[in-house]
Chains A and B, each alone.
Chain A
Amino acid sequence: MKTRSPAYFAWRRFAANKGALVAGAVLLVLILMAVFAPLITKTGYEAQDFLVQSYAFPSTEFWFGVDDLGRDFFSRIVYGARVSLTIGFTAAAFSVLIGIPLGALAGYYEGWVDWAVMRLIELFSVVPPLLAAMLLGALTNGGFFTIVLIAALFGWVQVCLLVRGQVKAFKEKEFVRAAQALGASPAYIIRRHLIPNAISPIIVGFVLAIPLAMMLEASLSFLGIGVPPPVPSWGQMINTGMNFMYFYWHLAVFPTAALAITVLATTLFGDGLRDALDPSLKGR
């Protein structure tokens, strides 16, 4: 009999989930668009090349029309994917970086370490994240890196809880006991045995942190305390588009649709990944 790796079964489960598969494909297209933005757009995101045609409606020449400052709107939307995805992925990476060590420590040592980490998490659960993010954004005047940090600040909790649960479940297993008996240090056990066994919740936590960060960025930019112009952010474009909504619908519709599709695709992809990697969590 041929032996199959767990990854193979995970892939089988994932492929059976049509919604997640489509979402993954959409996400891939979006990432490719973001990476190759200069190749598929005719101008940069801040080139005011079409001032005479400002507010032009979508046409074969300008697929998404021209915005109020004479910039090709399609270019701006595509470059907006760059901003949104970069912030989403970086913030998720930072969330994982904070969440793994704290979750592993809390799960392994229990006692006062666990108590302290859980109180910290409790702190983050009672502070309204959006309000706190807005306050932080206002105090720091926004900016790319600040947004990433704010998103990570509120994104690590989920990863931490997932890792903590997994470490707690695994540290009673025989192979960990055996490693302890052989004199392995806690740091070694955590690094070598417990974290590798927590890899699937980590992946899931990482992917699910992405849409949250993208939403936070869009929300802050929408309020004018996110990424400063002229860097194209969908939230910011929605805010501008709102002012012209009655006459130039395209300025509001395209960034709205872009944001909705991206966040939705990432979330569905993450949900599918979670179901595939950990069937016991399905449907939560």
Chain B
Amino acid sequence: MIVYILKRLASIALTFTVVSVIVFLMMHAVPGGPFDGNDMPVSDEVKAKLNASLGLDRPLYVQYFKYMWGVLHFDFGVPFQSPGETVLELLGRAWPPSLILGGAGVLIGAPLGILLGMAAALRRNTWVDYLASAFATLGLTIPVFVTSMLLILVFAVWLDWLPASGWGKPYSWVLPIVAYATIPLATYARYTRSAMLDVLNKPFVTVLRAKGLSERRIIFQHVLRNAALPMVTVFLPMFIGTATGSIFVEAMFRVPGLGAYFVSSINLRDYALEMALILMITMMFCVSYLISDILYALLNPRIRTGGRRG
């Protein structure tokens, strides 16, 4: 197990390095530097001096190592769009709304999705199943900004029950959270349904039925526990996914969260912030995959003793 974790950590380090190099190179592949604009033309000597003072005249690999050295010390530089603070401070300010939005969305959507998926699997090929499947497919295929748009149109514009945007009063949180909750809801409904059906078709369920166990005990004690296994693995990455999935919800409802800053950093070419966000989310994805794999191994005796995983 420890060897496995160490191996995985090494692979994460490799992935992280490759991603950071690629992103760094991509951002430096764009022609032109920060002082090449025509708004405030500077002479070549001044430009050279400015570039030198920021280390921009050094070879690319030196710049990369300097940047990564900072990253390892949680120094992501200064965001272009608000130079008064560091990237980290800005993220600290923007994170809470995203966390509330994403967290509440997952906490509401995931249990509902699991229930829906269970209902669909247990009432297979009835209207419950079709309705649940239709709902899950809709939620998975329709982009979340479309869902948001429809919610805004119906509940804010036509019915005028809830505000269309903003993040002030808790009741203005309702629509964005509902819009976001559709993603985990659909994902979990679909996932639970197929996981449950997989287990329900296993021979041991037939054996349990033949033994005369009540359907309720079969479902809750045996099927659910076996079906829960693959679901554990999606939960953490899904939770991290809130950080990116909520971008459009935040943009639609004008929530001042991470997503909103990411969008503005794209529009303003705020590379420091963009790079920091991509690196952090990549890192979180790596770690969450590792944790869920470990959890999976801990929960699943077949893997615990098996050792190698492909």
Query: How many angstroms between the C-alpha atoms of A131 and B197 in the bound complex?
Result: 34
Q: Identify the B interface with A (CB < 8 A).
A: 11, 14-15, 18-19, 23, 26-27, 29-30, 137-138, 140-143, 145-146, 149-150, 152-153, 157, 164, 193-194, 197, 241, 243-244, 247-248, 251-252, 262-263, 266-267, 269, 274, 277-278, 281-282, 285-286, 289
Find out whether the CB atom of B143 lies under 8 angstroms from the CB atom of A283. no
Ranked 3 nearest A-B pairs via Cβ: A128-B244, A126-B285, A267-B141
Listed stretches A43-51, A60-68, A246-254; interface member: A246-254
Interface residues on chain A, size class: 35 or more
Per the bound structure, the CA–CA distance linking A123 and B289 in Å amounts to 12
Q: Which residue of A lies closest to B145 (CB)?
A: A222
Is B262 in contact with A139, judged by CB distance below 8 angstroms? Answer: no
Inter-chain contacts of A123 with B (CB < 8 A) = 15, 18-19
Identify the A interface with B (CB < 8 A): 119, 122-123, 125-128, 130-132, 134-139, 211, 215, 218-219, 222-225, 238, 242, 245-246, 249, 252-253, 256, 259-260, 263-264, 267-268, 271, 283-284
Contact between chains at A263 and B26 (CB < 8 Å): no
Is there an interface contact between A126 and B277, defined as CB atoms closer than 8 Å? no
Task: Give the chain B neighbours of A284 by CB distance below 8 A.
Answer: 194
Q: Which residues of A contact B11 (CB under 8 A)?
A: 119, 122
Q: Which of B153, B194, B282 contacts A283 (CB 8 A)?
A: B194
Across the interface, B266 reaches (CB within 8 A) one of A135, A215, A238, A283, namely A135
- Which listed residue (B252, B263, B267, B282) contacts A127, Cβ 8 A? B282
Contact between A134 and B143, CB atoms less than 8 A apart:
no
A218 x B149 contact (CB < 8 A): no
Q: Is the CB of A139 within 8 A of B29?
A: yes
From A126, A222, A256, B289 is in contact (CB under 8 Å) with A126
Closest to A129 in B: B244
| Chain A minimum-CB-distance residue to B14 | A119
